[in-house]
Amino acid sequence: MIKVGINGYGTIGKRVADAVSLQDDMEVAGVTKTKPDFEAENAIKKGYRLYSAISERLEVFEEKGLKVEGTLGELLERCDVVVDCSPGGYGAKNKEIYERYGVKAVFQGGEKKNIAPVSFVASCNYEKAVGADFIRVVSCNTTGMSRLIRIVTSLVDIGRVRATVVRRAVDPKDDRKGPINAITPNPVSLPSHHGVDVQSVMPDVDIVTTAVKVPTTLMHLHSMNFDLKGDMREQDLIEVLRNDARMMLIHSEDGFTSTARIIEYAREVRDRGDIWENCVWEDSISVYGGELYLFQAIHQEAIVVPENVDAIRALMGFEDGDASIEKTNRTLGL
Amino acid sequence: MIKVGINGYGTIGKRVADAVSLQDDMEVAGVTKTKPDFEAENAIKKGYRLYSAISERLEVFEEKGLKVEGTLGELLERCDVVVDCSPGGYGAKNKEIYERYGVKAVFQGGEKKNIAPVSFVASCNYEKAVGADFIRVVSCNTTGMSRLIRIVTSLVDIGRVRATVVRRAVDPKDDRKGPINAITPNPVSLPSHHGVDVQSVMPDVDIVTTAVKVPTTLMHLHSMNFDLKGDMREQDLIEVLRNDARMMLIHSEDGFTSTARIIEYAREVRDRGDIWENCVWEDSISVYGGELYLFQAIHQEAIVVPENVDAIRALMGFEDGDASIEKTNRTLGL
Amino acid sequence: MIKVGINGYGTIGKRVADAVSLQDDMEVAGVTKTKPDFEAENAIKKGYRLYSAISERLEVFEEKGLKVEGTLGELLERCDVVVDCSPGGYGAKNKEIYERYGVKAVFQGGEKKNIAPVSFVASCNYEKAVGADFIRVVSCNTTGMSRLIRIVTSLVDIGRVRATVVRRAVDPKDDRKGPINAITPNPVSLPSHHGVDVQSVMPDVDIVTTAVKVPTTLMHLHSMNFDLKGDMREQDLIEVLRNDARMMLIHSEDGFTSTARIIEYAREVRDRGDIWENCVWEDSISVYGGELYLFQAIHQEAIVVPENVDAIRALMGFEDGDASIEKTNRTLGL
Amino acid sequence: MIKVGINGYGTIGKRVADAVSLQDDMEVAGVTKTKPDFEAENAIKKGYRLYSAISERLEVFEEKGLKVEGTLGELLERCDVVVDCSPGGYGAKNKEIYERYGVKAVFQGGEKKNIAPVSFVASCNYEKAVGADFIRVVSCNTTGMSRLIRIVTSLVDIGRVRATVVRRAVDPKDDRKGPINAITPNPVSLPSHHGVDVQSVMPDVDIVTTAVKVPTTLMHLHSMNFDLKGDMREQDLIEVLRNDARMMLIHSEDGFTSTARIIEYAREVRDRGDIWENCVWEDSISVYGGELYLFQAIHQEAIVVPENVDAIRALMGFEDGDASIEKTNRTLGL
């Protein structure tokens, strides 16, 4: 059993913890929190051992009556792997601690590319990550684009990929940040970093991206465009997408008219309303003038969760990427 | 076993269906849908027998490959009770059908008061509904205010109740209606109908309400104010609220700073992120100048679900309201 | 003096009325409204002769104490040209009336292409519209894209143009429609109609567009991409844009970080905060891998106003497009 | 001529500058900005002398090619009065500077009550401010409530006033703060500070307030409630409101269905779409059960502008409050 610590039981951390719990080859050694809020209470209710991410705050948890097992250091002593789910940018500092304790680590896409030798998307480059000490699971947008590009390239050679990323501004739980009524180029200077980040996973892809931020909390949406170097029938792509467990084909005729309707669907069939798949609108898939166009929606809270599970296996030297992906998919119910 | 039909498997209907399924004295005979969208597919996945709410559309379901058992009439022949969860205003026409089939019915708060002899909130007037043929479970806002008023009056005599209802404009799945950037008095002419609707449950309460609609989808918020005719300590109210299973005390220090944070909490611990309780901010409770002030948030998608279950029992002649409430609470996990 | 009637004094109509008033070769003969609301009152305050768009409602205006000169027919008798600013889709029916009265008409982009022999953007095809009986000024998004494409093609030959249109969902005054919290592909099936509509103005342009609707009211945003068949320096494009009165170069360093900030700027320097120009982010302009990328924002309430003025001149046989454009620009203060 | 400096040419500052310019007894000596953004450029376009609020940043303006006259100190040397429109909380530090230069100052409602001996609303307590060295014009919400309370008390004796303040979360130009999809009690603990702040103007008023923040940018909305100690006919209040220049009666039948529609109206008839008046819904005014209920909307960007002009006169010893109010109203076009 791989002992997995979760450093940061927030939006990503709590999802990774639950996904790890479902695996038969790994277990959650403990999770950390910086403050004793309702998320900390939920962690304990779910049976996770709680640790204080910040040593000095141990007593703050006790004052609230929340049982804490110790500090981050004590958790690391009990772990084979730590999944760093701290806020973006904290990973670099944390890495020094992980190294000191000799614990392998999975970082998230909010960290810089050079924090780990491998920027990871399971279906794209699992083999490169096997046995590494550190892996960076790329961001939700990069994961979604990388998965899709790999699938398209399995059918046809492609030239340039262009994507406009329409970003939900904040996660649903964020009640501080906006904007309330604006569209924000993010960034203004083009191209945006998303394309470069895809290349950290698949260096040979020619991709250019632009991104804007809009006042919604539910999902990102990608308007995707591929130069095709050969023939590909729309129906062939639909077939491949239908058979890929990390892809969900949706159709506006079934009521999937917006990101809100996708989330409504997911609330019925998934804990937390999570969607680990790319949601591709089947009726948007269009080969037109030698190019492929389509829309996909990406659930920023959930899509990297299966990649984190696979990354843990890769770190621990499990060599068969397809087997890991299949196992993760099966346990999550994909 | 009480056989319960659900006419309208939408926002309320799907929740009532699941709640009925959890009871040991009732079962879901079937549910109706008007079109074969993803909600219809989810109904079948969950094992509910699906009926076409509109006879003429039977074949539309078949074209989509969704198995339909028959039409509304055929469902009614198999039911003891139907819970009408059709869109507001359709209940009156449906009532004629239910009467023709001799089936008792629970209506929702979107219907006019006179559709049923009893406007119902379980903790307020269960006994009046026992054995009735028709019950109207009042709207989410009215249910939330009625429950709270009953609790306050159990502690102290009250005079006038005043409430400002800050309404979420639409449910999360609605991607058509707004407003996007406005506050709308709703209605402009005062007082609003909410107070009158509370009086349909508790005729002796002196209550005046105002309401505005705001661009959010998650929960309603009530700013409540009670004239107190006697002494009541804040701590006493907190105690009673803590011990009432249909009340949830929340505190901003635990991270409950907004409706968004409440829903984030619920996503962790409840299917669909549902909250059947009034969410009362403990740190808002204030007795000031002979009056009680507090904030409560009401999850419009879920709060009437337990009342619907209790209403079914009342219709069928089950006399012990406290026992029904306790059973409903226990099965839902309140 | 060209006598201009405005049929529909709403979002577009009131702006066209004011712009016509500023011209020395035309005057507003009157404006129509369907109901006596504050917009009707403002029309009278501004000195416009008010007519009832619907004959039967004449007395509704009188009951409100608003002076109405007559009905649409009576206005048409006094006009050389009518600018049809009725809601999208009404134009076709109105056209029969205009023909009956022998009045030339300008329609808006909400009408079908075939309502008029010319789909019009002043800088692109003024000459084709000279002397026509009917002109269709294309929609705000199409106008914005057409103007920009013409400018780029004045510098370099282009191949395919690709655009993702991020649409504000409704105008600021709309307090009914949404969505509140969703991104909506609009339409889902690709490509979207916007590209085809650009081709109604410039048939030889190879353009493919996609569009999504987002919860904001202020401006549309276009993520634009051009295949370049030759060399073009970013600085050259910037120079041309700076010298075109219907283009406004903005820079994020000056505080133009979003559509909200552009509108804040316009509130200071323009009536109604109107922006008749394409707002192109200078720091987004990027030639990359043989392609041009940039962001532009389009003020949907105002951008077609100068085109409407020019269209009136073209209808009346004024032949010099450049002179018309220059005159319109000067009078509006561009 | 009173020489007025504006320290902080932002949302409030730029409006006060324009209002001061319209007076025949005062003039704008100059305005300050902290950075050379488009607001600074607009200030120069409008003919205001621009100063750098922060000495060290003088050259940043020059680099941008914006002509700066000097620093705040140099502006103060040229002023009789400074209107402090710096961000909330900065006023206290600035006060020391103003004292050092011997310049009288008007502060805004974001400052603590004790920054000045008088918390000011012109119609409520002008006389107390005459000849003071420092005045604090209270916040938009407090100004709106105070004006209304004074009017009601001119008709009838009142007991407790209760208000629920539904706050727009941010100003239209703010593209950073939210929330996007939440209702936030603000503050959670009751009563809110707004009532106490009204008492800083009118100490004898018994008022209790609660407040929530909602995702909109346009206006605040107040649900107001007054205990009446005597008779007052709704029509009498309507008459008084109609005759008070700082009140605007609106009616939903004229299209005023929301804050969005009010702003749409103002965009037609006012620079920047500003509304200096309380907007009271005539059809909301209701005397019910011995209490008065009504809705009013408050334009947070503009409502304190006339009070700032009056405050300048009071500071300079102009004794006739009614005359000042009348002059301010007339020049602004109220």
Residues of D in contact with C42 (CB under 8 A): 265, 268-269
Residue D303 burial (CB < 10 Å; 0-12/13-18/19+)? buried
Interface contact C179-B179, CB threshold 8 A:
no
Give the closest-approach CA distance of D183 to chain A in angstroms: 8
Q: pLDDT tens digit string along B293-332?
A: 999 999 999 999 999 999 999 999 999 999 999 999 999 9
pLDDT score at D52: 96
Residue type, B223: S
User: What whole-number distance in Å separates Cα of residue B27 and Cα of residue B17?
Assistant: 9
Is pLDDT above 90 for C89? no
Give the closest-approach CA distance of B19 to chain D in angstroms: 27
- Considering the domain architecture, whether residues A222 and A287 belong to the same structural domain is answered as yes
- Considering the domain architecture, whether residues C67 and C103 belong to the same structural domain is answered as yes
Contact A171, A87 (CB under 8 A): no
The interface predicted TM-score of the complex, written ipTM, equals 0.96
- The shortest CB-CB distance from D216 to any of A174, A180, A217 is to A180
Is pLDDT above 90 for C135? yes
Give the closest-approach CA distance of A38 to chain B in angstroms: 6
Tell me the residue ranges of DSSP E strands in chain C.
2-7, 26-33, 50-52, 70-71, 81-84, 104-107, 118-120, 134-137, 158-168, 184-185, 207-214, 220-228, 247-250, 278-281, 286-288, 291-298
Interface contact B267-A264, CB threshold 8 A:
no
pLDDT score at A286: 98
Interface contact D179-A175, CB threshold 8 A:
yes
Contact D147, D123 (CB under 8 A): yes
Quote the mean pLDDT of chain C.
Answer: 97
Q: pLDDT tens digit string along B146-198?
A: 999 999 999 999 999 999 999 999 999 999 999 999 999 999 999 999 999 99
- Considering the domain architecture, whether residues B289 and B317 belong to the same structural domain is answered as no
What letter would DSSP give residue C328?
H
- Considering the domain architecture, whether residues B245 and B167 belong to the same structural domain is answered as yes
pLDDT score at B296: 98
Interface contact C261-D14, CB threshold 8 A:
no
Q: pLDDT tens digit string along C319-334?
A: 999 999 999 999 999 9
- Considering the domain architecture, whether residues D23 and D96 belong to the same structural domain is answered as yes
User: What whole-number distance in Å separates Cα of residue A125 and Cα of residue A311?
Assistant: 10
Residues of D in contact with C181 (CB under 8 A): 180-181
pLDDT score at C281: 98
Element (H, E) at D84: strand D81-84
Mean pLDDT, residues D235-239 taken together? 98
Element (H, E) at C40: helix C38-45
User: What whole-number distance in Å separates Cα of residue B281 and Cα of residue B294?
Assistant: 7
- Considering the domain architecture, whether residues A103 and A157 belong to the same structural domain is answered as no
A-C C-beta contacts closer than 8 Å = 155
User: What whole-number distance in Å separates Cα of residue C48 and Cα of residue C39?
Assistant: 12
Window from A277-281, C57-61, C250-254, C274-278 with minimum mean pLDDT = C57-61
Give the closest-approach CA distance of D81 to chain B in angstroms: 37
CA separation, residue A202 to residues A74, A125, A127, A198, C85 (Å): 37, 8, 13, 6, 51
Is pLDDT above 90 for C93? yes
Residues of B in contact with A263 (CB under 8 A): 172-173
pLDDT score at A16: 98
- What proportion of chain D, given as a percentage, has pLDDT over 90? 99
D218 in contact with B at a CB cutoff of 8 Å? yes
- Considering the domain architecture, whether residues A243 and A99 belong to the same structural domain is answered as no
The catalytic site residues of B sit at: 140
User: What whole-number distance in Å separates Cα of residue D123 and Cα of residue D150?
Assistant: 8
A323 in contact with C at a CB cutoff of 8 Å? no
| DSSP codes joined into one string, B240-300 | HHHT-TTEEEE-GGGT--SHHHHHHHHHHHSGGG---SEEEEGGG-EEETTEEEEEEEE-T
pLDDT score at C207: 98
Interface contact C183-A212, CB threshold 8 A:
no
Interface of D with C in 244-303 (CB under 8 A): 254-258, 260-261, 263-265, 267-269, 272-273
Which of C170, C171, C177, C180 should one mutate to test binding to chain B, selecting the residue with the greatest count of B CBs within 10 A? Answer: C180
**Phi, psi values for residue B262, rounded to 5°:** -65, -45
pLDDT score at B89: 87
- Considering the domain architecture, whether residues C80 and C226 belong to the same structural domain is answered as no
Residues of B in contact with C217 (CB under 8 A): 180-181
Residues of B in contact with C184 (CB under 8 A): 175
List chain A residues with pLDDT less than 70: none
| DSSP codes joined into one string, A29-41 | EEEEESS-SHHHH
CATH number reported for the structural domain that contains residue C274 in this entry: 3.30.360.10
What total number of domains does chain B contain?
A: 2
Residues of B in contact with A256 (CB under 8 A): 38
D88 in contact with A at a CB cutoff of 8 Å? no
User: What whole-number distance in Å separates Cα of residue C217 and Cα of residue C239?
Assistant: 31
CA separation, residue B267 to residues A81, A273, B229, B275, D212 (Å): 27, 8, 40, 9, 23
A217 in contact with D at a CB cutoff of 8 Å? yes
CATH number reported for the structural domain that contains residue B94 in this entry: 3.40.50.720
Over its C-alpha atoms, chain B yields an Rg (Å, rounded) of: 20
Mean pLDDT, residues C64-71 taken together? 94
Contact B176, C179 (CB under 8 A): yes
Neighbors of chain A with 3 or more C-beta pairs under 8 Å: B, C, D
Which of B141, B167, B184, B190 should one mutate to test binding to chain D, selecting the residue with the greatest count of D CBs within 10 A? Answer: B190
- The shortest CB-CB distance from C260 to any of A182, A208, A225 is to A182
- The shortest CB-CB distance from C254 to any of D37, D172, D255 is to D37
pLDDT score at B78: 97
Interface contact A265-B42, CB threshold 8 A:
yes
Give the closest-approach CA distance of D188 to chain A in angstroms: 14
Nearest residue on chain B to A256, judged by CA atoms?
A: B38
Residues of C in contact with A208 (CB under 8 A): 225, 288-289, 291, 293
- Considering the domain architecture, whether residues C148 and C251 belong to the same structural domain is answered as yes
pLDDT class of B257 with cuts at 50, 70, 90: very high
Tokens 């590009």 label which residue?
Answer: A149
Give the closest-approach CA distance of D308 to chain B in angstroms: 27
Residues of C in contact with D268 (CB under 8 A): 14, 39, 42, 46, 272
User: What whole-number distance in Å separates Cα of residue B267 and Cα of residue C191?
Assistant: 37
- Considering the domain architecture, whether residues C266 and C311 belong to the same structural domain is answered as no
Element (H, E) at D4: strand D2-7
| DSSP codes joined into one string, C260-290 | HHHHHHHHHHSGGG---SEEEEGGG-EEETT
Interface contact C188-A261, CB threshold 8 A:
no
Output the 3-class SS for A176-229: CECCCCCCEECCCCCCCHHHHHHHHHCCCCCEEEEEEEECCCCCEEEEEEEEEC
Residues of B in contact with D295 (CB under 8 A): 185, 188, 190, 210, 212
Which of B180, B188, B217, B263 should one mutate to test binding to chain C, selecting the residue with the greatest count of C CBs within 10 A? Answer: B180
Bridge partners for C5 per DSSP: C30, C82
- Considering the domain architecture, whether residues A152 and A288 belong to the same structural domain is answered as yes
- Residue D179 domain boundaries: 140-298
Give the closest-approach CA distance of B288 to chain C in angstroms: 36
- Considering the domain architecture, whether residues C122 and C172 belong to the same structural domain is answered as no
